[in-house]
Chains A and B, each alone.
Chain A
Amino acid sequence: MNHKTSPIEIRERLAIAEKSVPHHLSEICALDGITEAVVLSTCNRVEIYGSSDNPQEALDRLVDYLIDHFAVAPGEVEFYRHESEAAAHHLFEVASGLDSMVLGETEIFGQVKKAYATAQETGTTARRMNKLFQQSFTVGKLVRTSTRIQQGSTSVGSAAVDLAEKIFGQLDGCRVMIIGAGEMSRTTAQSLLSRGAKSIIVSNRSFDKAEELAAELKGSAVRFDDWESCLDEVDIIVSSTSAPHAVVKHEMISRVMERRRGHSLFLIDIAVPRDIEDEVNDIDNVYLYNIDQLQQIASEGKTRREKQIAVCREVIDEFLRGKGIEALAGLPQSGGGSGSERIQPEPSSRPLTNP
């Protein structure tokens, strides 16, 4: 099951903690008819990949196993089950980020790799799972390099970071200043830090709050009356105060740019009403984006990625057509089923037990 079929309340109940994955893998492989298994448990999905000569029975046993171990009430969870080529196709889509909440995200690729590595260490993979997962890594890479599924931003934070990278390149040496210690500023600053931004300066009307956020982001705090004196030192400014008027003015930035000797300045205004005068964007080498513009970019990015789904599926289909025999060599044939279906656990008379 995943974020499309189950709400978070269900997902968090079925989530398998990293340290208990080997234990579950051993238990699953001990089930009758299941010879190999890989468990992929992330915040958005719990998937069990297994190998069996009798897939229908094996899938029934797996569902029973989940019901038994995770206190799932009858009809509460919508499980999906895929066999043979459909299972391979699903794994390839997962590894490519097509089944992710943020379309095309790359974290899932690492999570699939880790799930496979854990299963390998536990000794629950053999020829079929090895081949299938190795092929999923090839497809994951192929989809990302031969399509535009990763192109464009999908959130305000990622749009800000992507723009910063298009201005400065790698953000390693970039210094960031936050004016107004709000939640959006924190998120945006964290995104910038995660991509390598060097240091953060936080300024807020309440100095305590500035210090608190600065400590969280491992930066430094400056008093609100002094933030202007730091303008020369920073490359990116994130502003989100609750001031009813412009805080960062054209004249102020013009003066700063004269001293910056050709270095660009990126201003992100996520406040409503806006903190930074619009005319600031007219200054050479200064790039100003407000919340609407960032949201617009994120929305366009999402649409662009959605359009790429068909292209990505074509890449996967092409791979399966070309390497299908190799990918599925040794995998059992579907026992006459459609290959994919969604099921809900039958109301059962069996008592539900906690893990």
Chain B
Amino acid sequence: MDDIYLILATLTFLGGFILAAASLRSESPRVKGLNIPVAVAGLIFQSLFLQGRGELHGRCPITNGAEVLVFVSWSIVIMYLALGKAFRLSLLGVFSMPMVFLFQLVAIIYLHFFDPGPRPPETLDPWLELHAAMSLLAYGAYGLAGVAGVMYFVQDRQLKSHHPGRLFYSMPPIRYLADALVRLLAIGTLLLTVGIVAAFFMKEAPDASHIISGAVWLAYVSLLVVHAIKRMPPKRLSISSITAFAFALLTLSAL
């Protein structure tokens, strides 16, 4: 049953992206304002899937790579819904949907072939749960920062080319994208800091996953510090945020 929710969530994001892309290309953009309803519908299906998996394991459902990917996708959608409007970046949702779709597709395939089944904890440690949840929420913010970086790139390219296409007029100003990028990196780092602090209170001794979280935290803190001191140009910051998120994803796959 849980798999059905995941499939429904994945199809919702795919459908939402196709609709948004068609609307952007269309002469008559009748399909407008669907980003939020699509994100909410997808989030509900994701939540139902994660709830089912949580009940299966009796703890936070991040016991395998597929669940981690779905949790990160869920975090990305949560972050978009919480911050997209405040940052005046409704299109961020459209650009996030392909990434969320891809993550969840990988998760569906993985669970179909390699689902290891229930993995109940020996003892339930709330600090461990807090560490894991905060870290993955941070990954959501970093993922969205990566998407904002891609959007900055696209808009910068259109401005430089002198031939703005139809997408140009629907995209947000590059200053808003650059500002959102920095804020998302800061929010992600704040969440990851909470996650890392929680790790110090855990009953278990730190393992590889904690060291990896620390490495990701260090990478992002360095990025923010360099930006604060030297004011990195937005283009370089975009590249760095995309690269940093790719690194964060690689560290996840190593878990």
Contact = CB atoms under 8 A, between A and B. Distances in A.
Contact of B233 (A146, A151, A284, A287): A284
B168 interface: yes
Contacts, number: 64
Given A166-B159, A287-B160, A289-B162, A147 B168 contact: no
Instruction: Name the residue among B88, B163, B164, B168 with the largest chain A CB count within 10 angstroms.
Output: B164
Contacts of A262: 178, 231-234, 237
A146 B29 contact: yes
Contacts of B12: none
A261 interface: yes
Nearest to B171: A166
B114 interface: no
A151 B29 CA distance: 12
Contact of A169 (B159, B160, B173, B232): B173
B112 interface: no
B174 to A, nearest CB: 6
Nearest to B162: A293
Contacts of A285: 233-235
B175 A167 contact: yes
Contacts of B164: 163, 166, 297
A167 B175 CA distance: 6
Instruction: Name the residue among B88, B155, B159 with the largest chain A CB count within 10 angstroms.
Output: B159
B28 interface: yes
A219 to B, nearest CB: 23
A146 B32 contact: yes
Contact of A311 (B27, B169, B234): B27
A146 B160 contact: no
A264 B231 CA distance: 12
Contact of A281 (B160, B163, B168, B237): B160
Contacts of B178: 262
Given A284-B235, A293-B162, A166 B29 contact: no
A165 interface: yes
B166 to A, nearest CB: 8
Contacts of A168: 173, 175
B176 interface: yes
Contact of B169 (A145, A152, A281, A293): A152
- Name A's interface SS: helix
Contacts of A148: 27-29, 169
A312 to B, nearest CB: 9
B242 to A, nearest CB: 16
A311 B175 contact: no
B158 to A, nearest CB: 8
Contact of B30 (A146, A152, A293): A146
Instruction: Name the residue among B175, B176, B234 with the largest chain A CB count within 10 angstroms.
Output: B175
B159 A167 contact: yes
B157 to A, nearest CB: 11
B233 A163 contact: no
Contacts of A195: none
Contacts of B159: 163, 166-167, 287
A308 interface: yes
Interface string A326-339: 00000000000000
A307 interface: yes
B173 A167 contact: yes
Interface string A118-154: 0000000000000000000000000001111001100
A195 B169 CA distance: 17
Interface string A164-205: 011111000000000000000000000000000000000000
Contacts of B155: 166
Interface string A252-281: 000000000110100000000000000001
A64 B220 CA distance: 78
B186 to A, nearest CB: 15
Nearest to B176: A169
Interface of B: 27-30, 32, 88, 155, 159-160, 162-164, 168-169, 171-176, 178, 231-237
Given A152-B169, A167-B175, A296-B163, 4 more contacts: A167-B159, A168-B175, A262-B232, A311-B28
28 contacts: A147-B29, A148-B169, A152-B169, A163-B164, A166-B155, A166-B164, A169-B88, A169-B172, A169-B173, A169-B175, A169-B176, A262-B231, A262-B232, A262-B234, A264-B174, A264-B175, A284-B235, A285-B234, A285-B235, A287-B159, A287-B160, A289-B162, A293-B162, A296-B162, A297-B162, A307-B27, A308-B27, A314-B28
10 nearest A-B residue pairs (beta carbon): A261-B231, A169-B173, A262-B231, A293-B162, A311-B28, A284-B233, A151-B169, A287-B159, A169-B175, A262-B233
